[in-house]
């Protein structure tokens, strides 16, 4: 049987869109107050910190060496933010959050242009509550920038696709160029694939010959010039530099080929071992709580697209295949790539959100609606049960009270959103997603980041007064307290310490340490296991403070289990080293 659906969605969204959107924004913004996670987030923040302090926006450097991996744009944004707000986690994450917000805005604009207000509102709610987008607003890398830039470029190009060259063509080209300066030219596949599919499906062959797209290509190339100039100045102009163990490395070649296509074909300096089904199962958790709905939406969209003899969709409009084409083409490319990471999918989430919203808005069959209610309410029960188990497993301080609070907020949406209409289980799913992500941002991460030793050590040093610093360095008077903290090249990297430490940080080898000691005591941050190596070489060490460390971005059951946690922690020490 067929049931009317549009009126119930419009009534629901008119009442609940803003009340649901505001807490979602606050939960996503919760990552601003959380320290930066190792390793990638701290590494990128350290690079941006160097740019902000030196004023050198051309050269990307790590530990005093040239660094060739990611393009400049995210580092420029973070460095400018550091100059405005100071060197801190908030300043690093804030511009990324703005681009995530731009992604929500452009998701709204594109969905509104294609399908109307209700689908646009629903798409935004799905976007702001998708699991890996929330995670990426905490563990910030390049993806929040890319997400906003790509969907923004697609929107402006869509508006320009049936008009004379105008502002939208320039804006789309500028955003596409910024996306290239964030991840490389590979992103243009995501920007353009949807248009190609839509033009072929709509038999708009004249689009392939239209001068506007040649203008767009030229503008994108011009707007990308700052990145190309920087790469040329840092690498191509200096073939003597040693990069990836080789001299004569071209930054331009890396940008156009090795960085992305080289990873895809596994011929570049950074290699991987891809699994063609990796993203199929990754999407199940990365797009929670909407992943099963997304699969259903894509299957239905493909079935309708593959049945031209059937009745056309009521919502078939010009541009209808843009989201499907952009999402599927990029998904296939990612799946075939030999280098795969979960957060690569984030740039597709705006398209996924629009596809899922359009699917939900158009469902009329009663059995389909019933299946969705059962599926989503199963998710709505499993998510809080998972939180309860984790609370017991991790044993937070005051965990019984926390479990009681979770139970209260689990029951509440079933009282607020009742009835057999489809918006009710969808609203409950949104609520449960916010409950889970709030728990992660405000409960889990603050608790476990006590075990990110680099952050804790940096904060400990920041809390020292000059008098205390002098007292800690073998009772030297304050003027003789060392200005620099050293890391051992033989030890694992500690970018969180380099970022959070308020003093200059340098990496040296153990062999170089004796010569440095001739000038006085050295302040050293190192794993405790290196203490014996220093003493064997005739150096004296005094431990100032010890910090327990764990790789927080790769959580394990042994770490989360309060009974076995101590067995997987690694102590790091702040030492003063003397002759």
Residue 346 Cα to chain centre, angstroms: 7
On the question of a cis peptide bond just before residue 39, with omega within 30 degrees of 0, the verdict is: yes
Work out the number of other CB atoms within 10 angstroms of the CB of residue 370. 12
How high is the mean pLDDT of the chain? 87
- What's the helix, strand, coil split of the chain in %, to 5? 65, 5, 25
Q: What is 403-426 written as a DSSP string?
A: HHHHHHHHHHHHHHS-SSSTHHHH
Q: What is the DSSP letter of 575?
A: E
Kindly indicate the confidence band of residue 262, based on its pLDDT and cuts at 50, 70 and 90: low
Work out the number of other CB atoms within 10 angstroms of the CB of residue 382. 13
Token pair, residue 90, equals: 């908030």
What are the tens digits of pLDDT across the range 286-326?
999 999 999 999 988 888 765 554 444 444 577 788 999 88
Residue 2: pLDDT over 50: no
Q: Over pLDDT 90: what percentage of the chain?
A: 59
- Phi, psi at 66, each rounded to 5°: -65, 140
Residue 470: pLDDT over 60: no
Q: Over pLDDT 70: what percentage of the chain?
A: 91
CB neighbours of 118 closer than 8 A, spacing ≥ 6? Answer: 6, 9, 10, 13, 361
What are the tens digits of pLDDT across the range 365-409?
888 899 999 999 999 999 999 999 998 888 887 888 889 999 999
Residue 480: pLDDT over 50: no
On the question of a cis peptide bond just before residue 307, with omega within 30 degrees of 0, the verdict is: no
Three-class DSSP category at 303: helix
- Does residue 485 contact residue 461 with C-beta atoms inside 8 Å? yes
Strands 485-488 and 505-508: what pairing?
Answer: parallel
pLDDT, position 63: 85
Three-class DSSP category at 506: strand
pLDDT, position 273: 57
- Does residue 78 contact residue 92 with C-beta atoms inside 8 Å? yes
pTM: 0.91
Kindly indicate the confidence band of residue 111, based on its pLDDT and cuts at 50, 70 and 90: very high
Closest CA to 517 of 508, 526, 529: 508
Three-class DSSP category at 546: strand
* Separation CA 491–CA 489 (nearest Å): 5
pLDDT, position 56: 94
pLDDT, position 380: 93
What distances in angstroms separate CA 257 from CA 179, 200, 264, 326, one per listed residue? 16, 28, 10, 21
- In this prediction, residues 490-518 reach a mean pLDDT of 89
What distances in angstroms separate CA 267 from CA 235, 252, 274, 330, 475, one per listed residue? 20, 16, 13, 20, 55
- In this prediction, residues 280-289 reach a mean pLDDT of 89
* Separation CA 38–CA 35 (nearest Å): 10
Q: What is the DSSP letter of 2?
A: B
Kindly indicate the confidence band of residue 475, based on its pLDDT and cuts at 50, 70 and 90: very low
- In this prediction, residues 263-282 reach a mean pLDDT of 66
Could you give the count of Cα atoms lying within 13 Å of 254 in the half-sphere of its Cβ? 23
* Separation CA 460–CA 469 (nearest Å): 11
Q: Which residue has the tokens 């660094």?
A: 67
Closest CA to 184 of 140, 239, 137, 146: 146
* Separation CA 335–CA 361 (nearest Å): 29
Token pair, residue 541, equals: 């060490």
* Separation CA 459–CA 464 (nearest Å): 9
Torsion-angle region of 410 (φ positive above 0: left; ψ -120 to 50: alpha; else: beta):
alpha
* Separation CA 51–CA 364 (nearest Å): 55
Residue 5: pLDDT over 70: no
62 beta partners: 65
Residue 479: pLDDT over 50: no
What are the tens digits of pLDDT across the range 440-452?
999 999 999 999 9
Query: Is the sign of the CA dihedral 363, 366, 371, 374 positive or negative?
Result: positive
pLDDT, position 343: 75
Interaxial angle between packed helices 40-54 and 73-85, expressed in degrees from 0 to 180 and rounded to the nearest 10? 60
* Separation CA 80–CA 91 (nearest Å): 9
pLDDT, position 311: 41
Element (H, E) at 487: strand 485-488
What are the tens digits of pLDDT across the range 204-236?
888 898 999 999 999 999 999 999 999 999 999
- In this prediction, residues 143-169 reach a mean pLDDT of 92
Q: What is 149-217 written as a DSSP string?
A: HHHHHHHHHHHHTTSSS-HHHHHHHHHHHHHHHHH-TTHHHHHHHHHHHHHHHTT-GGGGG-HHHHHHH
Residue 338: pLDDT over 90: no
Token pair, residue 198, equals: 């839509």
- In this prediction, residues 15-33 reach a mean pLDDT of 95
């Amino acid at each position: 049987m067929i049931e009317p659906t549009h009126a119930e969605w419009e009534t629901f969204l008119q009442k609940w869109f803003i009340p649901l959107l505001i807490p979602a924004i606050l939960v996503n913004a919760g990552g601003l107050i959380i320290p930066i996670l190792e390793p990638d987030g701290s590494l990128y923040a350290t690079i941006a910190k160097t740019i902000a302090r030196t004023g050198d926006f051309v050269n990307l450097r790590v530990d005093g060496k040239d660094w060739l991996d990611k393009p400049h744009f995210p580092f420029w944004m973070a460095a400018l933010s550091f100059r405005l707000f100071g060197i801190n986690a908030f300043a690093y994450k804030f511009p990324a959050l703005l681009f995530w917000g731009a992604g929500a805005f452009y998701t709204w604009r594109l969905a509104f242009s294609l399908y109307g207000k209700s689908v646009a509102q629903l798409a935004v709610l799905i976007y702001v509550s998708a699991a890996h987008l929330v995670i990426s607003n905490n563990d910030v890398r390049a993806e929040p920038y890319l997400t906003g830039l790509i969907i923004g470029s697609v929107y402006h190009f869509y508006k320009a696709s049936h008009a004379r060259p105008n502002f939208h063509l320039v804006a789309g080209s500028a955003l596409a160029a910024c996306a290239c300066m964030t991840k490389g030219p590979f992103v243009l596949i995501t920007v353009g694939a949807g248009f190609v599919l839509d033009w072929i499906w709509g038999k708009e062959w004249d689009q392939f010959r239209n001068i506007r797209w040649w203008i767009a290509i030229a503008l994108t190339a011009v707007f990308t010039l700052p990145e190309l100039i920087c790469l040329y100045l840092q690498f191509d102009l200096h073939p003597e530099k040693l990069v990836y163990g080789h001299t004569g490395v071209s930054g331009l070649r890396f940008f156009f080929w090795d960085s992305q296509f080289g990873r895809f074909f596994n011929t570049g300096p950074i290699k991987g071992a891809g699994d063609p089904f990796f993203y199929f199962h990754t999407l199940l958790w990365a797009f929670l709580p909407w992943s099963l709905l997304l699969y259903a939406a894509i299957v239905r969209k493909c079935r309708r697209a593959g049945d031209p003899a059937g009745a056309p969709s009521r919502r078939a409009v010009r541009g209808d295949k843009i989201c499907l084409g952009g999402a599927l083409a990029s998904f296939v490319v990612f799946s075939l790539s030999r280098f795969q990471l979960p957060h690569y999918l984030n740039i597709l989430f705006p398209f996924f959100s629009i596809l899922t919203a359009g699917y939900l808005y158009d469902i009329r069959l009663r059995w389909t609606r019933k299946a969705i209610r059962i599926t989503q309410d199963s998710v709505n029960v499993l998510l809080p049960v998972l939180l309860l188990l984790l609370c017991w497993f991790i044993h937070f301080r005051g965990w019984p009270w926390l479990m009681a609070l979770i139970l209260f907020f689990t029951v509440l949406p079933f009282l607020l959103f009742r009835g057999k209409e489809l918006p009710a289980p969808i609203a409950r799913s949104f609520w449960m997603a916010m409950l889970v992500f709030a728990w992660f941002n405000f409960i889990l991460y603050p608790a476990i980041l006590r075990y990110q030793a680099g952050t804790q050590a940096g904060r400990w040093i920041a809390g020292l007064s000059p008098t205390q610093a002098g007292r800690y360095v073998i009772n030297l008077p304050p003027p003789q307290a060392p200005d620099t903290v050293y890391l051992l090249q033989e030890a694992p990297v500690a970018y969180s310490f380099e970022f959070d430490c308020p003093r200059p940080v340098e990496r040296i080898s153990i062999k170089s340490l004796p010569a440095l000691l001739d000038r006085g005591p050295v302040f050293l941050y190192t794993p405790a296991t290196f203490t014996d190596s220093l003493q064997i070489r005739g150096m004296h060490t005094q431990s100032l403070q010890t910090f327990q460390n764990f790789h927080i971005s790769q959580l394990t059951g042994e770490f989360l289990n309060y009974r076995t946690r101590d067995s997987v922690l690694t102590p790091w020490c702040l030492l003063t080293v003397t002759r």
